[in-house]
Amino acid sequence: MVFSTILFLFRFLPITLALYYLAPAKLKNTVLFLCSLVFYCWGEVRFFPIMIALILLNYLCGLGLERFDGSKPARKCFLLAGLVGSLGMLFYFKYANFVLSSANALLGTSFSPIQGISTLPLGISFYTFQTLSYTIDVYRRDVKTEHNIIDFGAYVVMFPQLIAGPIVKYRDVAAQLHVTHGRYNLKQIEDGMTLFTFGLAKKVLLADTIGALWTDIIGIADSPSTTFVGLANASTALVWLGVIAYSLQLYFDFSGYSMMGIGMGKMLGFDFPQNFNYPYISASITEFWRRWHMTLSGWFREYVYIPLGGNRKGLKRQIFNLFVVELLTGIWHGANWNFICWGLYYFVLLAIEKLFLLQYLQKGKVWPHIYTLFLVVVGWAMFVGNDTGVSFGLLFQKLFVPSGGVSPFYFLRNYGVLLAVSVVCCTPLIEKLWNRLRRRTLTRVATILVLLVVSTAYVVGSTNSPFLYFNF
C-alpha cells in the first residue's frame, strides 16, 4: 500500500487516525501496532510470519541481555543471535539468489535459484536495521530493555516509516512510546499534516511528472507513454537530460515519501529524524552524504564506521573503514553488481576528498557545486543501470561517447517549465517562501489546502505512481 494512493489517503489513513485518537491512552500503542500490521499485510500477507519472527527474536534477545546482564559470554550470545537472525533473514530474501547467480557466472557452477523469494518482503531493508539498532543499543546499555512486546512491535512495524524510512532508532521514540497522556497536541497534528501535504506534493506533482520524462526517453516496456524514444535511439544530449530527470525524480520521490512518513509520525505523536537536507546544493561529495538519506548514513556511521575505529586510528585505517561503509551502502541498496559498483564509486570519491581534494573544494564558490552535481548525476546513472529497459553498458556509452539520435529540444519544450520548477524546489528557496506565508493563518491554510486538493486530484487521475525505493 503506497502512501500516494486513493486506498491509503481516503480509507486506511483516516480510519487509522480516528481509531488512534479515540483509543484510550493505554491502548494507543495496541491500535498503532494492529493497524500497522494491517498496512503491512495488505500487500505482503505471505511475509507476515517473517515480520512476527523478527519482532519476537529481537524482543527475546533484549530480555536475555537484561536477564544475563552480569555474564559477558551470555550477552555476546544474545547479541550474536539478534545479529545473525536479522541479517540472516535479510540475506536470504534479498541476496541469496544474487550470490547463487554470481557464483554460477564466475565459477561455472549450476546452482538453481531459490524459489519463492523473487519478491522482497515489504520494507525488510529498513526494519531489519531498526531491530538491529535496538539489540545493539541494549547490548551497549544505551537503552533500557523493552518489556512490553506490543510497544516493541509498534516500534518495529510503525506504518509511517515501515517501508521507506526514515530509519528510526528505538531510542528516538522510546520515551514517546511510553507516554500515556499528552503524547500529541493540536500544534503537532497541524505540523504533521503540513509535512504530509508537502511530501505528497513532492511525490505526485514533481517526482511522478518529472519521472515521465525519463520513461519517455528510455522507453521501458510498461511505460504508459506511446511516444518514447528508446535508449538506443537517443542522442548523448537527450540521455544526459534523461539521467538528470531521473536524478530529480529519485530525490523528490524518496524525500517526499520520507516527509510524508515524518508528518504522519508527528500526527501520531512521534518525532522522527530528518532524512534529507537539500542534498543537491552540496559543494562536495562528503557534504552530499551528510544531506542525502541522513538516517542511513547515520546508522552506518554509528554501528559500522565508529566501531571499526572511525578516524581515530590513522589515515590508512580511516580509508579502509570508509571502504567498508560505502561497500555496505551499495550492497544495502540492492542485490546487483551495479549497486556494488555504485558504492565503490562513492568510496573512491570520498577517499580522494579525504586525502587532498576537500581543502580545495572548501575554498571554491561555484565550481564545487558543479563538480558535485556532475558526479552525483553520474552516480545515479550507475544506480539505475541494469534496471528495466536500461542497459548499463549502453547507458554509459551514450553518456560519454558522443552520438547522434533524437535531440532533446522537443522534450525541453514540453518539460522545460517543470524542470525549472524542480530545480528551484531542490533549494531552500521554497522553504523560505513558506516561512513567510505561514506567518498569517489565512495564507498558511490556503497554501496547504491548495496543495492538498491539487495533489489529491492528481492521485485520483493518475494511473502510474510508483515508489522507486520499493525496489531496495
**What separation in angstroms does the CA of 173 have from each of 143, 297, 329, 341?**
11, 19, 25, 35
Whether omega for the bond prior to residue 121 falls within 30 degrees of 0, making it cis, is: no
**What separation in angstroms does the CA of 176 have from each of 170, 179, 240, 265, 299?**
10, 5, 46, 11, 21
What is the mean predicted confidence (pLDDT) over 147-167? 91
The contacts of residue 27 (CB under 8 Å, 6+ apart) are none
Residue 353 contacts residue 289 (beta carbons within 8 Å):
no
CA atoms lying within 13 Å on the CB side of residue 180: 3
- Specify the long-range contacts of residues 464-467, CB closer than 8 Å, at least 24 apart: 464/208, 464/224, 465/2, 465/4, 465/5, 465/203, 465/204, 465/208, 466/208, 466/211, 467/2, 467/3, 467/4, 467/163, 467/164, 467/203, 467/253, 467/257
Sequential DSSP letters for 69-101: TT-HHHHHHHHHHHHHHHHHHHHHHHTHHHHHH
Q: Looking up cell 538506443, which residue turns up? A: 232
Residue 245 contacts residue 213 (beta carbons within 8 Å):
yes
Residue 58: what pLDDT?
95
Across 47-51, 147-151, 283-287, least confident range? 47-51
Residue 114: what pLDDT?
86
67-125 residue pLDDT tens: 999 999 999 999 999 999 999 999 998 999 889 998 988 888 888 888 877 777 888 88
Residue 230: what pLDDT?
83
> Please, which pLDDT band fits residue 220 given cuts at 50, 70 and 90?
low
Residue 134 contacts residue 158 (beta carbons within 8 Å):
no
What is the mean predicted confidence (pLDDT) over 215-243? 77
Residue 472: what pLDDT?
55
What is the mean predicted confidence (pLDDT) over 433-448? 92
Q: Does the structure show a pLDDT above 60 at 469?
A: no
Q: Does the structure show a pLDDT above 90 at 389?
A: no
Q: Does the structure show a pLDDT above 60 at 3?
A: yes
The candidate with the shortest Cα–Cα distance to 281, out of 290, 269, 268, is 290
CA atoms lying within 13 Å on the CB side of residue 22: 6
175-206 residue pLDDT tens: 999 887 878 889 999 999 999 999 999 999 99
Q: Looking up cell 514517546, which residue turns up? A: 176
Across 21-35, 211-225, 249-263, 287-301, least confident range? 211-225
Mean pLDDT of the chain: 90
The candidate with the shortest Cα–Cα distance to 276, out of 203, 174, 383, is 203
304-355 residue pLDDT tens: 999 999 888 889 999 999 999 999 999 998 888 889 999 999 999 999 999 9
Q: Does the structure show a pLDDT above 60 at 413?
A: yes
Residue 306: what pLDDT?
94
Residue 199: what pLDDT?
95
Q: What is the pTM of this model?
A: 0.93
Q: Does the structure show a pLDDT above 70 at 219?
A: no
240-256 burial, b if ≥16 CB within 10 A, otherwise e? bbbbbbbbbbbbbbbbb
Is 333 tagged catalytic?
A: yes
Provide, rounded to the nearest whole percent, the portion of the chain with pLDDT above 90. Answer: 68
What is the mean predicted confidence (pLDDT) over 42-64? 90
What is the mean predicted confidence (pLDDT) over 51-76? 94
Q: Does the structure show a pLDDT above 80 at 468?
A: no
Active-site choice (147, 181, 333, 369): 333
Q: How many CB atoms lie within 10 A of CB 328?
A: 14
Q: Does the structure show a pLDDT above 80 at 385?
A: no
What is the mean predicted confidence (pLDDT) over 199-222? 84
Sequential DSSP letters for 374-426: HHHHHHHHHHHTTSTT--HHHHHHHHHS---SB-SHHHHHHHHHHHHHHHHHT
Q: Does the structure show a pLDDT above 90 at 298?
A: yes
Q: Which backbone phi and psi does 68 adopt, to 5 degrees?
A: -110, 45
Residue 180: what pLDDT?
76
Q: Does the structure show a pLDDT above 90 at 133?
A: yes
Q: Which backbone phi and psi does 406 adopt, to 5 degrees?
A: -65, 130
Q: Does the structure show a pLDDT above 90 at 263?
A: yes
Q: Residue 336, Cα to own-chain centre: how many angstroms?
A: 18
- Amino acid in the structure at residue 24: P
Q: How far apart are CA 206 and CA 253, in angstroms?
A: 8
Residue 117 contacts residue 97 (beta carbons within 8 Å):
yes
What is the mean predicted confidence (pLDDT) over 390-419? 89
145 DSSP assignment: P
Q: How far apart are CA 209 and CA 416, in angstroms?
A: 12
CA atoms lying within 13 Å on the CB side of residue 394: 13
371-383 residue pLDDT tens: 999 999 999 999 8
